[in-house]
Amino acid sequence: MESGDALSGKQLDSRNKFVASLDIGTTSVRCHIINNKGETIGDSSEQVILHCPSYGRVEIEPDTLFDSIVQVIKNAIKEAGLKASDITVMGISCQRGTFITWNKTTGQPYHNFITWQDLRADSLVQQWNKSMTMKALRMGSKCLHLITRNRRFLAGSVLQLMNAQVTLRLLWVLQNVTGVREAADRGELMFGTVDTWLLRRLTGGDVFVTEVSCASATGLFDPFTMAWADWAFALFKLPRSMMPAVCDSSGDHFGHTDPCLFGAPIHIASLLSDQSASLFGSCCFQEGDAKVTIGTGSFLNVNTGRKPHASIAGTFLLSSYFTLLFFSTCQNCPYLIFTGYVGNDPSESQKIATSVPDNDGVYFVPAFSGLQAPVNDDKSAAGFLGVKRTTRPPHFLRAVLESIAFRIVEMHSCLVGETSYKIDKIRVDGGVSRNDFIVQLISDLTNTTVERAKSSEMSVLGAATFAGLAAGIWKDQNELKALRKVDREFEPRKDTASEYASVFNNWKKAVGRFTGWYAQETA
């Protein structure tokens, strides 16, 4: 996806069609206007303002977020030299696991968005995971799996609740936010993740739906039945009446934007979670296709074909268009802590990190919000281990960059161990993927070719092409593949894996030292 010159209204060709691609991430809101050649002809972005009122709480004020969304769409259309009436369709990609509740009658929210990073329900998570109820659920599922060999019960046999899931943060809201439980009892409580809330606001309140890849990240959706998990609502005593309908990721059910917002209605043709959009934008259309995103978080996604995969160590995410399951995890990217020292250019950090032959025995654990799969420990702490008199700044930086690669390698090993997929190539994107040192190390330690796209905006591109495919702007997946532009392929180096074996093992030992840290601190 290459940026092109902005088109003026006089230059418009009747054969040109334009997609507005909106991406609502954890740290930014972006909109790109993309033509039928896959080129960005106008774009705009604004930072998402995160509020942290107390330790572990991470919130977004809804009106501020909506104002930013409207503004970036307007700015992108203006920069492209277009009007809203020139936009054929809109595609939307958004963060998962962030939710809000509001009153059905008044439309007023009961609280700010509670983001996927929020830890306010951690005590509930710990209590439930240790409870006799969950132990009985796991044991019953294990027995049923032994009898039926149904992978749905295998998933239940290892079920662990996590802070990143909506379930217990929503239960916390019902128990602690004034008026919420009463509204639920009256049938006036409404629930939505970012996609549901955004559709309601953009369409003027006409649409109340979610789509499967966003629903599946809540912990309340059953990917084996493709419906809300009624057993979960009964188990946690959550009101089923507040939930939106679950629909496919593309189609006519998302409606049109309110004409008052942009001067003309825009058809919303698709909506996807960010990682689903990113996988689609990377053209991972075949079973076993895999990609890694390294940005604010690190994610490993794989196309598992038309059958759900019950992961023993990871979390899962479903997209209806392919009926795909994506193995994924996330962590705050530690690369940003060095921006004051090395700047924002990944090649600069690479140069500094490779100015020394090794990490001098220094290891970094990137657990700013705990460690997700396959460690799955929200109590982990971030920090360095092995600092000594000989340690210099480049060693610290090298340790940080190595830790990013190591986390990806861990996830890859877990994926290969749990499945039979033959992964010949990993596609990579995200801002941190511009760092050759990290990408080459991933290739070396996974013994896999890694392909880096020219564009790092895969969520944006995926949302655009998904919507454009639904609207007939592009006719099939082969046409989308022709739009993909590759920057570079990294081939695994012969001896690096064996040279790094002890380094990788020592890093895993360091991770073990930092797990459960906050549990010890508060004990």
pLDDT tens-digit readout, 445-503: 999 999 998 887 888 999 999 999 999 999 999 999 998 889 999 999 988 989 999 99
Apex CA 141: angle with CA 138 and CA 143, to 5°? 110
pLDDT for 226? 84
**Model pTM score:** 0.83
Is it the case that residue 328 has pLDDT exceeding 80? no
pLDDT per residue as tens digits for the range 11-61? 444 468 999 999 999 889 999 999 999 999 999 999 999 999 998 899 999
Do the bridges between strand 221-222 and strand 268-273 make them parallel or antiparallel, or are there none, so unpaired?
unpaired
Nearest-angstrom CA–CA distance, 16 and 386: 58
Is it the case that residue 245 has pLDDT exceeding 90? yes
Helix (H) or strand (E) run with residue 201 in it: helix 194-202
pLDDT for 516? 85
Cβ distance 403 to 432 under 8 Å?
no
Tokens standing for residue 446: 């996974």
Cβ neighbour number for residue 149 with a 10 Å cutoff: 9
Nearest-angstrom CA–CA distance, 378 and 312: 17
pLDDT per residue as tens digits for the range 83-101? 999 999 999 999 999 999 9
Do the bridges between strand 18-24 and strand 87-94 make them parallel or antiparallel, or are there none, so unpaired?
parallel
Of the candidates 344, 338, 388, 331, which has an alpha carbon nearest to the alpha carbon of residue 363? 388
Mean pLDDT for the stretch of residues 347-371: 89
What strands lie across the sheet with 449-453, from one edge to the other?
298-302, 290-294, 425-429, 449-453, 486-490
Nearest-angstrom CA–CA distance, 265 and 202: 10
Report the share of the chain in percent with pLDDT over 90.
56
Nearest-angstrom CA–CA distance, 202 and 84: 14
Nearest-angstrom CA–CA distance, 267 and 90: 6
Q: Which residues contact 94 (CB under 8 A, 6 or more apart)?
A: 23, 24, 25, 193, 194, 195, 198, 214, 271, 272, 273, 274
Cβ neighbour number for residue 338 with a 10 Å cutoff: 18
Is it the case that residue 9 has pLDDT exceeding 70? no
More confident residue, 291 or 189: 189
